[in-house]
Amino acid sequence: MLNRRSFTKVAVAGAALSMAACAGGKMAKKDGKTVIVIGGGSAGATAAKYIKKADKSINVILIEKNKTYHTCFFSNNVIGGISDLESIEHSYDGLMKNHGIDVMHKMVSKVDAANKMVVLSNGDKLAYDKVVVAPGIDFKWDSIPGHSEAASKNDIPHAYIAGNQTQILRDQLVNMKNGGTVVMIPPTNPFRCPPGPYERASLIAHYLKKHKPKSKLIILDQKEKFSKFGLFKQGWKREYKNVIDWRAKSKGGQVKHIDTATKTIKTANGKTIKADVINLIPAQKAGKLAFDSGLTKGDWCPINFMTFESTLHKDVYVVGDAAIAKKMPKSGFSANSQAKILAIQLVKSLNGKKTMANTRFGNTCYSFINPDYAISVTAAYKGTDKQIAKTSGGLSPMGANATERKALAGTAREWYKGITSDMFM
Ligand SMILES: Cc1cc2nc3c(=O)[nH]c(=O)nc-3n(C[C@H](O)[C@H](O)[C@H](O)COP(=O)(O)OP(=O)(O)OC[C@H]3O[C@@H](n4cnc5c(N)ncnc54)[C@H](O)[C@@H]3O)c2cc1C
């Protein structure tokens, strides 16, 4: 039950834009039903757009803390000096102008599922009929002993949430001497974009080979193998034999301790490595909002695999990296594909209709070895009671020739244009 004070603080859902101007005021409720989407990334932006497309009468409010969004996909190209940060920056204007979505740039503290309210960090509350939670990931800062969130801010960037962090890593590489040592520490499974660290290694190596040829890149892996293993290893042998030194967990990769001040790493096999630049990508978990809203079990959010509704709270949906959407990898392509199915299911449920029993998803992850050399992994999926099951898929061929690898790089660039326009236009 709301008391008088909290009632006046409830900005009734559907009046988001006016609410932004007069926070704390009492608003008139717009006619119709209201869906609030939290997080304007691959999952949230797509969900907001496709919910509105499915039923224009629904008031769709997208709450995103940042004014613009930097895609993690293609951020490795920025780190490798192939493109700049602006090339991966997107605004929310298209969602507002083209689709009539109310976009609010606010921080959400939590979803109060019992009272069907979204609570903002300033204490204001918005009522919803259904809410979509798409906060992406957070980091386990203590996953490597000696590391900390504070150290990641400027000294040891993760660059695994794109934007400022991407630029910091890029600048460190540019400022490094020729002959320097870059160390990358990829995370344990599961994490966002399984091929992401290895594409990054490729494009850092591309930069070093071209501009700082006496330098090297050591990858201290916390795993024995990784996504597109054979294709990456083949590419590295061809292109970066004298640059990349990848060490599996059991073969010197396991990190025992990092001294972030001196950039000194001690490995489990007793070696000490002094680095000039370190890219440490910590182990991951669902975004903080998911934990603060009681939507997690372990590190991630359990969902109904057919609808994306949380199994812990009714009328709350979780999608994208934060959700347990096994067997789909945590990727922007997956998030976009999931969000479209979620939109159909949510709107059906909101309108009292039976949800679809047959759901299909897709994912392709392209990775660049260099700007003219791409590899890929593709899969199709089907929703079932127990999981989102893989139905088919495969890798780009090991035997592809230079023309085919270059053509795939072009396809990857076209994919980027397509998915970002699908998310934001
Ligand atoms: C280096 C790298 C390369 C990648 N390459 C690819 C690729 O080639 N292909 C591919 O498909 N995927 C790729 N990915 C993965 C892809 O970026 C993610 O899987 C995808 O962004 C997940 O989408 P999401 O919406 O779940 O999370 P995000 O895109 O991170 O969006 C979450 C949003 O929620 C907002 N938010 C969080 N908490 C709050 C709050 N409390 N209040 C308000 N707003 C909040 C955040 O600001 C953010 O905008 C890559 C990732 C990395 C790191």
pLDDT in tens, 310-321: 999 999 999 999
pLDDT at 110: 98
Share of the chain above pLDDT 70, in %: 93
Residues 318 and 215 in one domain: no
Order of all β-strands in the sheet with 388-395: 360-370, 373-383, 388-395
pLDDT at 26: 33
Answer yes or no: is the C-beta of 207 below 6 A from any ligand 1 atom.
no
Residue 414 domain-assigned (yes or no): no
Q: How far is the CA of 248 from the centre of ligand 1 (A)?
A: 27
Residue nearest ligand 1's atom 4 by CA:
73
Task: Report which of 83, 53, 85 is spatially closest to residue 68, judged by C-alpha positions.
Answer: 85
Q: How far apart are CA 257 and CA 73, in angstroms?
A: 30
Q: How far is the CA of 322 from the centre of ligand 1 (A)?
A: 9
Task: Report which of 194, 193, 189, 260 is spatially closest to residue 222, judged by C-alpha positions.
Answer: 189
Look up the domain containing 150 and give its range: 139-283
Residues 39 and 126 in one domain: yes
* One-letter amino acid of 81: G
Residue 413, both tokens: 């660039």
Say if residue 6's pLDDT is above 60. no
Q: Report residue 88's pLDDT band, with 50, 70 and 90 as the boundaries.
A: very high
Residues 149 and 278 in one domain: yes
Cβ(261)–Cβ(275) below 8 Å: no
The pLDDT tens digits for 273-316 are 999 999 999 999 999 999 999 999 999 999 999 999 999 999 99
Residues 163 and 231 in one domain: yes
Say if residue 38's pLDDT is above 50. yes
Cβ(267)–Cβ(253) below 8 Å: yes
* Domain containing residue 246: CATH number: 3.50.50.60
Ligand 1 pocket test, candidate residues 92, 331, 416, 420, most atoms within 8 A of CB: 331
CA 51 to chain centre: 21
pLDDT at 1: 31
Region 101-116 average pLDDT: 98
Residues 21 and 155 in one domain: no
Region 340-346 average pLDDT: 98
Residues 197 and 257 in one domain: yes
Q: How far apart are CA 293 and CA 312, in angstroms?
A: 10
Residue 213 domain-assigned (yes or no): yes
Ligand 1 pocket test, candidate residues 50, 73, 361, 375, most atoms within 8 A of CB: 73
User: What b/e readout covers 181-199, taking b as 16+ CB neighbours within 10 angstroms?
Assistant: bbbbbbbeebbbbbbbbbb
Residues 65 and 79 in one domain: yes
Residue whose token pair is 């700007």? 371
Domain count, the chain: 2
Answer yes or no: is the C-beta of 331 below 6 A from any ligand 1 atom.
yes
Residue 401 domain-assigned (yes or no): no
Task: Report which of 201, 195, 229, 199 is spatially closest to residue 215, judged by C-alpha positions.
Answer: 201
Residue 389 domain-assigned (yes or no): no
Answer yes or no: is the C-beta of 320 below 6 A from any ligand 1 atom.
yes
Region 245-274 average pLDDT: 97
How distant, in Å, are the alpha carbons of 326, 328, 343, 358 from that of 383?
Answer: 10, 10, 15, 7
Q: How far apart are CA 103 and CA 191, in angstroms?
A: 28
The pTM (predicted TM-score) of the whole model is 0.94
Last residue in a domain, options 333, 354, 375: 354
Residue 419 domain-assigned (yes or no): no
The pLDDT tens digits for 49-69 are 999 999 999 999 999 999 999
Residue nearest ligand 1's atom 29 by CA:
41
pLDDT at 3: 36
Last residue in a domain, options 220, 248, 283: 283
Q: How far is the CA of 70 from the centre of ligand 1 (A)?
A: 9
Q: How far apart are CA 270 and CA 254, in angstroms?
A: 10
pLDDT at 41: 98
Residue 40 domain-assigned (yes or no): yes
Answer yes or no: is the C-beta of 333 below 6 A from any ligand 1 atom.
yes
Say if residue 322's pLDDT is above 50. yes
Residue nearest ligand 1's atom 27 by CA:
136
The pLDDT tens digits for 349-390 are 999 999 999 999 999 999 999 999 999 999 999 999 999 999
* One-letter amino acid of 66: N
Task: Report which of 386, 330, 338, 329 is spatially closest to residue 359, judged by C-alpha positions.
Answer: 338
Residues 95 and 174 in one domain: no
Q: Report residue 32's pLDDT band, with 50, 70 and 90 as the boundaries.
A: confident
Residue 195 domain-assigned (yes or no): yes
pLDDT at 30: 63
Answer yes or no: is the C-beta of 383 below 6 A from any ligand 1 atom.
no
The pLDDT tens digits for 188-202 are 999 999 999 999 999
Answer yes or no: is the C-beta of 138 below 6 A from any ligand 1 atom.
no
Residue whose token pair is 């009671």? 385
Residue 396 domain-assigned (yes or no): no
Mean pLDDT of the chain: 93
Q: How far is the CA of 41 from the centre of ligand 1 (A)?
A: 5
Say if residue 265's pLDDT is above 80. yes
Residues 38 and 174 in one domain: no
Residues 263 and 339 in one domain: no
Residues 243 and 333 in one domain: no
